[in-house]
Amino acid sequence: MRRSAIFYRGAMRRVSRIVILLLVLQPFSFGTISKDEIIVQLRRSVPSWVIEHRARSQGITFTMDEQIASELRSKGASESLIRILFEISNNNRSTPAGRQEHVTKKMSLPGTRTEPLSLPFNVTMDFVWIPPGEFEMGCSYNDVDCTPNELPRHKVRITRGFEMGVYKVTHQQWAAVMSNKRINSTVPVGWALPTNYGGSADERLDLRKFLARLNARDDKYVYRLPTEAEWEYAARAGTIERLYGPLDDIAWYEDNSRGIPHPVGQKKANAWGLFDMIGNVSEWCSDRYSPDYYKESPVDDPQGPDHGVKGEQGRVAFTVRGQVYLSSARSVRVSNRWRGPDFYTTDYYDGFRVVRQRRAP
């Protein structure tokens, strides 16, 4: 009798789960799923794994991009669901149009590793794909530590995808390009480079020279610094929070760095596979710095102000992002921005990360 009761209760639990699953799936129409149907399910608190299963088995009617991804995230979609929708979209070859789009555009997931750049002495520079999309730039939601230069929060649209260096530029990479020397240090470069690594007192010219030498390779890419908007878009990788993970897991800062910079790639990457986007050493952007620029920034592809503030030696100052290994926990945030020392000032804290785009045919 007891065994029968246990069996009965177990059977009823299984039947209940099946009934719940059928009720959850019932609002979906048969066949492929539209974006609007997914939003309806998210609003009804349907688990993401249920939507993932249906999308995998039935397919989707739309092409994923970062704008749609941001919309779905705002409705509660998990990162797992977002990745699966991108995967399905990229592999959708069910129609001639879909096959042609896949072949001609070669769409890829955000954070997909692309062709590495080969440098002398078997040194390489790795890149990931950053797709076009929209995001909210500036002070993160519920961030009480924001300063006035991070306001107002505003919409930014990146209209053209680009590739970004997985890591900050290291001493090893700098020496391979600037000095034709082999060294083993993967600590990111700061702006007080030893002269035998190719540094000098005129750091702005050295940075230009580094990029010029990459561009002189005359391969299919143009190499440059990221704009400030591109940097924050890539650093956030879809998040609206002040950090893209637990601070000690993702960054070297005041409480864990022991007062020194560290080799790249030792902390966890963000959702798009970029390491050390905050902490360790900060990163130059191509924008001139203005504390009030967000009040006038355009929506599409902001490039920074025409006239920024002056640096310590009266020269134009550029924007620096990411904070450093000596920064406090309160200041290590993806939205934090500040005026770097001008490009002619040596500094132990500021490095850079390379982005590239395909040359126009």
Tokens 């610094």 sit on residue: 225
Q: Which of the four pLDDT bands, split at 50, 70 and 90, describes residue 82?
A: confident
Encode pLDDT of 226-249 as tens digits.
Answer: 999 999 999 999 999 999 999 999
The whole-number average pLDDT for the span 97-125 is: 70
Q: What is the mean pLDDT of residues 102-114?
A: 63
Distance, in Å, from the CA atom of 240 to the CA atom of 72, rounded to the nearest integer, reads 13
- The CA-CA-CA angle for residues 211, 230, 247, to 5°, reads 105
Contact 117, 127 (CB under 8 A): yes
Mean pLDDT of the chain: 81
Per-residue confidence (pLDDT) for residue 206, from 0 to 100 = 72
- Residue 190's pLDDT is what? 65
Backbone torsions φ then ψ of 81, nearest 5 degrees: -65, -40
> Which tokens is 256 given?
């864990």
Percent share of the chain, pLDDT over 90: 47
Average pLDDT over residues 157-170: 95
Does position 312 have pLDDT exceeding 90, yes or no? Answer: no
pLDDT tens-place string over residues 34-76: 888 898 888 888 887 888 878 887 788 888 877 788 788 888 8
Give the integer Cα–Cα distance in Å for 324 and 268. Answer: 16
Task: Return residue ranges of the chain for CATH 3.90.1580.10.
Answer: 117-358
Query: Could you tell me which CATH class the domain 117-358 is placed in?
Result: alpha beta
- The set of residues, in sequence order, having a beta carbon less than 8 Å from that of 133 and lying 6+ positions away, is 65, 66, 67, 69, 70, 157, 158, 233
- Half-sphere exposure (CA, 13 Å, Cβ side) for 361? 0
Residue pair 284/320 in contact by the 8 Å Cβ criterion: yes
293 or 347, greater pLDDT: 293
